[in-house]
Amino acid sequence: MPKEKKKKEESSKRKKRFSGEFIWLLMLFIWAAGIFTASSIPGSGEHYWDLGVFLERKGAHIFEFFVLAYLVWKVTDFHETAFSKKIFFVFLMPFIYAVSDEAHQLFVFGREGKPLDVGIDLIGILSFILLILIWRRIFSKEKTPA
């Protein structure tokens, strides 16, 4: 009898893990789709420079890719992977998406795919990674002597 109870508990844990991972994957997909949709909005074709608009748009890039890196991190939490591999994956996936997003904008009227924007997206990605590294350093269970 205890064996059956243990099997049920393990099955329940797997279902919870799967449903949790599914929810984070769904959120990741929705966020990526939102970035794609925003990149699909045609521009006016006019080129003018306004500091406020520039800061707002570039701030949006940083925020979008910070959140994208966070969502990738949450999905990797469901897999037993070395920390360094998780960090690499959290860097690589959003970076590839940033490059593909700029390539996509080359085909949208009034928009331009700019390497500068990929660099700005990288600020968001690297900001999240830096936050994780700081968090891990502060709250690590393995304290090293000073």
> Per the confidence metrics, is the pTM higher than 0.85?
no
Long-range contacts of 96-100 (CB under 8 A, 24+ apart): 97/32, 97/35, 97/65, 97/68, 98/65, 98/122, 98/125
In this prediction, residue 20 has a pLDDT band, given cuts at 50, 70 and 90, of confident
- Which tens digits make up the pLDDT trace of 28-72? 999 999 999 999 999 876 777 889 988 998 999 999 999 999 999
- Which tens digits make up the pLDDT trace of 122-144? 999 999 999 999 999 998 876 55
Q: For residue 125, which of 58, 70, 56 has the smallest C-alpha distance?
A: 70
pLDDT higher at 48 or 7:
48
